Amino acid sequence: MSFSPKAMIRFNKKTKEFHLQGKDFSYIIKILKNNQLGQLYFGKKIRDRKSFSHLYAIRSRPLVACVYEGDSFSLDTLKQEYPSYGTTDFREPAFQILQENGSRITNFEYQHHKIYKGKPKLEGLPATYVEKGEEAITLEISLYDKLIDTEIQLLYTVFSEWNALARSARVVNHGQQALNLTRIMSASIDFFDSQFEMVHLSGSWGRERYVKMRKLQPGIQSISSTRGASSSQHNPFIALKRPDATEHRGEVYGFSLVYSGNFLAQVEVDHYDVARVTMGIHPFDFNWLLGQGESFQTPEVVMVYSDQGLNGMSQTYHQLYRTRLAKGYWRDKERPVLINNWEATYFHFDEEKLIKIAKTAKELGIELFVLDDGWFGKRNDSKTSLGDWFVNNRKLPSGITGLAQKINDLGMRFGLWFEPEMVSKASRLYEQHPDWVIKVPGRRMSQGRNQYVLDFSRKEVVDHIYGMMAQILREAPISYVKWDMNRYMTEIGSADLPPERQREVPHRYILGVYDLYERLTTEFPHVLFESCAAGGARFDPGMLYYAPQTWTSDNTDAIERLKIQYGTSFLYPLSAIGAHVTSVPNHQVKRITSLETRAHVAFFGVFGYELDVTKLSEKDKQKVKEQIAFYKKNRKWIMNGTFYRIRSPFEDDGNIVSWMVVSEDQKEALVGYYQVLGTANPGFSRILLKGLRTDYEYEIEGIDGTYFGDELMYVGLLLEDAKGKGDFYSKIYKLKAIQSDEKVGMKNR
């Protein structure tokens, strides 16, 4: 069965093989001798044929356990699709189910399958989607364990326009006994070999998503989070690249989990050099009680194949996530240039101060004013009032509605900060509902940033917060919400769940967060939501589904942002990357960089400012005007363009960084070049550009002459002499293709 020449799924009844073909990749599954699923191939697209049996072999090996007597069929030596543990396979499994008799042994066999146009929604979870059925094909395979009367449904969606495969699993308990899901991963795959380097994005607050690489070794290598959020420590993403793969050539396999809670991404290399990748909800401290007739849906893993290196993988994720993960009114719209008052005022402001900042910002061309923390309850520091989402009239006598209207009257949009998942002990909410926090009876509650985590696994808690936020959004002309989250979970427990369900709290919490997002974005579709979590502690695809942009990091230093934004671009499009110009010395690292360099970095993201513009000199105000005008002129194609990483801050000495974005029609491009430290008597430098049309002739602003695309990509762009430029130097090169009539005019001159 097929629906598009770029995406096809075929089932060979005779050989019992499924061949999934994407735009440039093939994925082949086989029903094995024991009626379970084997993995035959994932990689560069190959032609379909009558049989792929030559990719599958059963060979005897010493010290293996075999499924059948007198036979060499052993799962220990076979590549599998969704493996279990305990029946001849000793590797870590994709799932494990504890039964009432204490057994963890299962036997899920192929039952049936169906192939259909489009892509189903995942109940209660964010996921990629399609707008027309022809955009994707889905294979749904049903596995069944007769003894426990339970079904596992495996979902595979192949997209027509992207080299991406979306996978998830759903467990349905048809039987009489209660089951405990102790491990239920979203996807698993066994590769032919382990000749890969594992790429992941790791760090901490203020240095999120640094690029890390390691060669696969025998045993288990993994990244994870057990913090209740995807975390700034590890992003829910890994890639396997061949050792010779670079940014622009070679084979790369990407794995991205569309989820915002505890996760595990793991590669196990066995004694036969097979690499098994598993990804999903972290099984540590997890258990899900599945009663009769109940089901459990896993989050989605989006797998990407690239034979065009890491950049090729990233560009697939960028295009897919920008257009078929992010959703709603703001998905394709130009984002307003904003100013956030946080670093300008922190908690110390009143209405007069805010209006003064907004008036100056408007004069500079800024379009959106965002009021950050400190507007509610008795909030004058970080110790009080979270959960009390009503205005502090001492600071704002005309309320949020009055302030928002005054900002609107200036010709600007108005935005507001919330931290809906948290509560302060010094608050009305905590006084009235002390049992609404995540805690364990009889145990001390640890605090973070003087705040505690609300129990979003409870519907009444989510309902209450929704009611308070919705009331404000209904009453005031608010165009933007910054949704913050500044604390991980500790002492995890819920007063509302029985003992046997306590290990469900982290996942139920995330489902509650998604529910609140879903309700608010549905009722207020024209509000632009930006997710934030102490900066980048929950920068993940699950959040991107509801909030099309994310605050990238609390570290706003331009030089630090080179690494942070470079790593973030491995997975996330520029339209998702919040990037602001802030004051100097920088509040996080005390570094002083030029206003130009700060803007040159922030141009490659959703652009804004976070400083007191009333304190700028007239000269700097003029520079800000020019920066904003430049960004507005180019932002549409920058957000929708193709991004290329050119020079990495993580390679060589990291002193030179470069990247660029090319418009969809390849007629415009923006190149960023950054020098961290000045060097004595530097040589003559050039960079090889990417993504241009070889036959297009380009002008480069500020440089005489014209250059063909092939020259710029193969000979390179000779850079401005960096001699004497000093530390933290940057340069932006704007390219524009010359139209045919312009060429004629130039020749006539």
| SS3 labels along 498-542 | CHHHHHHHHHHHHHHHHHHHHHHHHHCCCCEEEECECCECCCCHH
Residue 394's pLDDT is: 95
Give dist(CA 722, CA 675) in Å, integer. Answer: 8
Cβ count near 109 (within 10 Å): 15
pTM of the prediction?
0.96
Cβ count near 389 (within 10 Å): 22
Beta bridge partners of 562: none
Give dist(CA 588, CA 595) in Å, integer. Answer: 16
Mark whether 721 is an active-site residue.
Answer: no
- Give one DSSP letter per residue of 71-133, joined into a string: ----GGGS-BSS--SSSS--S--SEEEE-TTS------EEEEEEEEES-PPPTTS-----SSG
Tokens of 655: 């002193």
Residue 719's pLDDT is: 87
Residue 65's pLDDT is: 84
* Percentage of the residues of the chain whose pLDDT score is greater than 90: 91
Mark whether 554 is an active-site residue.
Answer: yes
- The amino acid at 547: A
Q: Which helix (H) or strand (E) holds 568?
A: helix 558-568
Nearest to 599 by CA among 582, 578, 616, 615: 582
Higher pLDDT, 631 or 741: 631
676-686 as b/e: b if 16+ CB within 10 A: beeeeeeeebe
Q: Omega into 299 within 30° of 0, i.e. cis?
A: no
Can you tell me the mean pLDDT for 114-124? 97
Tokens of 246: 């670079």
Cβ count near 293 (within 10 Å): 9
**Active-site residue identified among 145, 307, 484, 557:** 484
**Active-site residue identified among 76, 455, 554, 557:** 554
Helix 595-602 to helix 558-568 angle, to the nearest 10 degrees? 10
Indicate the SS3 state at residue 512: helix
Does the structure show a pLDDT above 60 at 743?
no
Give dist(CA 608, CA 338) in Å, integer. Answer: 5
User: For 200-257, what is each residue's pLDDT tens digit?
Assistant: 999 999 999 999 999 999 999 999 999 999 999 999 999 999 999 999 999 999 999 9
Give dist(CA 589, CA 208) in Å, integer. Answer: 15
- 3 pLDDT band, cuts 50/70/90, is very low
